[in-house]
Amino acid sequence: MSEKPVLWVTRKLSASTEARAARDYCVILNPDDTLASADDIVEMSRKVDAILPCHSEIFDRDVAGRLASRVRIIANHSVGVDHCDLEALSSRGIVVTNTPDVLSDATAEIAMLLLLGAARRAAEGDILVRNGQWRSWSPSFMVGHQVTGKRLGIVGMGRVGQVMARRAAGFDMEIHYHNRSRLDPELENGAVFHAELDSLLEVSEFLSLHCPATAETRGLMNARAFSMLPDNAILVNTARGALVDESALLEALDSGKVAAAGLDCFQTEPGGNPAFAGHPNVFMLPHIGSATFETRDAMGFRALDNLDAYFSGREPRDRVA
């Protein structure tokens, strides 16, 4: 590279990521970590060759249409790309990349935490002790659902789903999955494939979502899907809020069809859905699936690897558009 490309890093990233970006690019950082509006993105696009955004910056059809032609690549710091209208960006000749693989372990950890926390009433128990309201104990106190040996249904057996399956196997869970295609036997590792989502739902005492939010998967967990689960099923979502019809989930929780839920993702982010707050059997986290020090570095480096490849004339490894 003769002259360094101008790169806008939209959010505050790990120190190592920002140091590497500053070394290799003429970088515009965001030390205050402010959120860019659509107009901010369009305005900034006039000054930069590349953007390194997170899922918090929305590149919908409108923004894609208004981006300055100077922008050549959007190297996302996320595996999910549902915040990007890939077709619209591609039609503008803008390359788009993501950061697969590197967040699978961290996200599966949070999925396991939510699964265990929802089953064993972690939020409820924490609140009791924290607020000084734990005043008695008896064998009938705070009884939850055992995880060991239960059936776990995984929707989306990609990288995160596969790590989740391995972690859950450590709890002797019987793994079932639904995926666009069946995995090879060595990757499947004894898990039971369901070609149809419905047949997975019917057997899933626990159900964990690991598929991207696309036109096909939005609202996947609707009233009909919840009704197909076994009674007292437990739902875990670390993928995207858009996969779950939250009103249907609330109804399923209220009717007792769904015993508990562990949610890291919501239809509205940040903020979540205040209606869940009245449900002690919902264990919630604020979209922190990939939030570990190690994974933040790895995501930042992977995004920079994609930029480096692009600006040295090579195909970026994680090109999605």
Shortest Å distance, C-beta 63 to ligand DGY: 18
In the set 240, 246, 296, 302, the catalytic residue is 240
In the set 124, 174, 188, 269, the catalytic residue is 269
Scanning 42-50, 73-81, 193-201, 268-276 for contacts with ligand DGY by CB under 6 A, the matching segment is: 73-81
Asked if 55 interacts with ligand DGY (CB under 6 A), we say yes
Contacts of 136 (CB under 8 A, 6+ apart): none
314 is catalytic: no
Shortest Å distance, C-beta 108 to ligand DGY: 13
In the set 20, 287, 296, 302, the catalytic residue is 287
Asked if 79 interacts with ligand DGY (CB under 6 A), we say yes
- Binding letters toward ligand DGY, positions 230-269, x by CB under 6 A: ----------------------------------------
Scanning 6-14, 72-80, 145-153, 267-275 for contacts with ligand DGY by CB under 6 A, the matching segment is: 72-80
166 is catalytic: no
Total chain residues near ligand DGY (CB under 6 A): 8
Asked if 159 interacts with ligand DGY (CB under 6 A), we say no
Angle between helices 104-119 and 122-130 (to 10 degrees): 70
Shortest Å distance, C-beta 124 to ligand DGY: 26
Scanning 37-45, 76-84, 146-154, 304-312 for contacts with ligand DGY by CB under 6 A, the matching segment is: 76-84
Of 82, 99, 97, 85, nearest to 13 by C-alpha is: 99
Place of tokens 């590349």: 50
Of residues 78 and 179, the one with the C-beta less far from ligand DGY: 78
Binding residues vs ligand DGY (CB under 6 A): 54-55, 78-80, 103, 289-290
What is the set of active-site residues?
A: 240, 269, 287
